[in-house]
Amino acid sequence: MEPISPKTESKQCLRARIWTAFVLFCRCTTVRGLGKLWQGPTFLRIIWAIFVVSMMCVLLISVVLLILDFLAYDVGVHTRLLLDDPSPFPALTVCHHYPFSMRARKLWQERKVLSPGRFNRYMRNLTWTNLLNNDVSAAEAITFYDSLSVYYQNLSPEEAKSLGHDHRIFLNCMRVSSQTSIFEDDCRLLKGYRVRQFSHHQYLNCHTFEPVDQKEALETSFLSLIVSMGPKESSDPDEQAFLPDIFEQAKGLRVVVHEPGTYPDLEKFGLHAEPGKLNEIGYQPVRWTKMNTPTRPCFHEAEKYYDLDGIYNYTHEQCLLLYQQKEIIEDCGCYYVMNPRPSFPTNEKPYCGRMWPNLDIEKFVNRLECLRDKLNIAVKRKYDGSVCLPRCEYYTYDSAISITKWRAQMWQLYWLRVQTQAVRLTQEFMQHNSSRNITESLGYRMWKRYLSERNLSGIPEEATWNDSTRPSDVIKQINLDIDDGFLANDDGFAYIVLKRKSQNTIDNTEKLVLTLNVLVSRIGGLCSVTIGITAACVVEIIEFVYYANCHKKTTPNRTKPGAETVDQEGDRQEEKSC
């Protein structure tokens, strides 16, 4: 017999100790299948080994996928109806489809401002020039640039503002606050409200009515406006233009309900209001509460931004458009008219559609090519989630408009305006002249004229006189921005009503699809289904370590006589203990 080398003997001892520890662990654990691996026929032990290994792989892969799913922080929207939970009253923006005022016609006639007809003739000359140069593609492009939006880009901001309607286009306003009705014929003086005017490339001047603060917004339940349509459309030479806009030319108003302080999205949320009708806008407030997660962060407060001379609250979409605009200004040297304008366009950096008075076709084409590249969605995606984050809380308004015939008569509108002016003038007189008699005030005389009138259906003849001859206690029959044909024109004004549908609010709250509790529960279920691991495994591991250490301490030195017998007895004792 060959002698056994010490190295071989040490390897055999190591394998024996490993096998002994493995058998001890299999005896102590309740993991499904491990108890079958140390005894029984070889075939069945192989089957059980395959089962244990495969189930362990399934468990590990499934747990890794669950953890990755958890770290993605996917959210779902939990919707509920909050009863008797009133939201702040929204802002209402009103724009005129026919954007030009009476003053615009005067400015065109005096040739102080570029008229649409003059711009159209300029565009036709450019088209004709390109045709003579055999450049059909340029001629085709230029001829379809004769639109209101392009015309706006060839005006200075001051000129565009002077052509549009001002606050006088609103004949009367009424607000219901805390069950009290407040009337004003000058909407700028409406208590608890402010009127903001901003410039738009399609409607020139738009006006936003919004509460001055949170308290006024919560107390308001009803807002109504009587809006003049302004002068009738004309076919005079100064207005013979905008042929490509024929499919977008509508009559009436464009209105949108939105959060106070934010810039209205007329293209996405705008509603059409008919002239000569009662247009009632009912809205359902929806409060969104986004979850601030590492993958989709949000914030509660953000800096405001500028659009020309207007300051607006932050919104996610407008932030993306603003940074896109900054790239356009920097790289293309022009302003894109549909994005927020952080500063006023200049001759060096005009609107991208600037063509008047001298068109540099090469520079114009380069601007448009650069603009086309910058309008790619990839430009906005660079800032989404990094510079531009969504707000954690905000409101949207699901709006619907209902339209019916308005029964109001012109004499009713006239005397209502008389009352509102009389009330305001009387209050102002008493504030500044508390010691004088109220009968000395102009407001009293106007009030007296209304209270003593026997036939309200008749409007005083003096109301049609000009300012120099009309008595001071008789107000002008019509708004200054309305033409002489207003009386015979049933479509000369529109009645807009914005009201709450109810005191309820729809609450949309984002919640994690896979929370930590759900993650632990799913991992526990997988452990139970695959190899039967439970929380008791922690105790089983402690038990295994304990018996393994006990085995080492109680095992005598194998060099002594009878060592093999003692070792076998120790194994039997451990088997009984397990």
Q: What is the pLDDT of residues 80-128, one digit of tens each?
A: 999 988 899 999 999 999 999 999 999 999 999 999 999 999 999 999 9
Strands 170-177 and 220-228, sheet pairing:
antiparallel
Q: For residues 212 and 209, give the distance between their C-alpha atoms in angstroms, rounded to a whole number.
A: 9
Label residue 381 by pLDDT band (50, 70, 90): very high
Instruction: Summarize pLDDT for 547-562 with one digit per residue, the tens.
Output: 777 766 665 544 444 4
| Residue 572 in this model has a pLDDT that exceeds 60 | no
Q: For residues 388 and 72, give the distance between their C-alpha atoms in angstroms, rounded to a whole number.
A: 20
pLDDT value of position 6: 58
Percent of the chain with pLDDT over 70: 91
Residue found under tokens 């001859």: 469
Q: For residues 31 and 485, give the distance between their C-alpha atoms in angstroms, rounded to a whole number.
A: 93
Mean pLDDT, rounded, of the chain = 85
Instruction: Summarize pLDDT for 205-242 with one digit per residue, the tens.
Output: 999 999 999 999 999 999 999 999 988 888 899 999 99
pLDDT value of position 554: 60
pLDDT value of position 206: 97
Instruction: Summarize pLDDT for 350-366 with one digit per residue, the tens.
Output: 999 999 888 888 889 89
320-354 residues labelled b (16+ CB within 10 A) or e (exposed)? bbbbbbebbbeebebbbbebbbeeebeeebbbbbb
pLDDT value of position 412: 85
pLDDT value of position 178: 82
pLDDT value of position 5: 57
Q: Which of 484, 541, 502 is nearest to 86 (CA)?
A: 502
| Residue 427 in this model has a pLDDT that exceeds 50 | yes
Percent of the chain with pLDDT over 90: 47
Q: For residues 180 and 188, give the distance between their C-alpha atoms in angstroms, rounded to a whole number.
A: 19
| Residue 260 in this model has a pLDDT that exceeds 90 | yes
Instruction: Summarize pLDDT for 503-513 with one digit per residue, the tens.
Output: 899 999 999 99
Task: Tell me the whole-structure pTM to 2 decimals.
Answer: 0.80
pLDDT value of position 481: 45
Q: What is the largest CA-CA distance in the chain?
A: 142
Q: For residues 97 and 73, give the distance between their C-alpha atoms in angstroms, rounded to a whole number.
A: 45
Higher pLDDT among residues 326 and 574, named by residue: 326
Q: For residues 62 and 318, give the distance between their C-alpha atoms in angstroms, rounded to a whole number.
A: 42
Helices then strands, each counted (H, E), the chain: 17, 15
Q: What's the whole-number mean pLDDT along residues 194-200?
A: 95
pLDDT value of position 558: 45
- For the ranges 61-75, 142-156, 506-520, 538-552, the lowest mean pLDDT is seen at 538-552
Q: What's the whole-number mean pLDDT along residues 249-255?
A: 92
Q: For residues 25 and 468, give the distance between their C-alpha atoms in angstroms, rounded to a whole number.
A: 110
Q: Which of 285, 335, 341 is nearest to 311 (CA)?
A: 341
Q: What's the whole-number mean pLDDT along residues 454-473?
A: 85
Higher pLDDT among residues 17 and 79, named by residue: 79
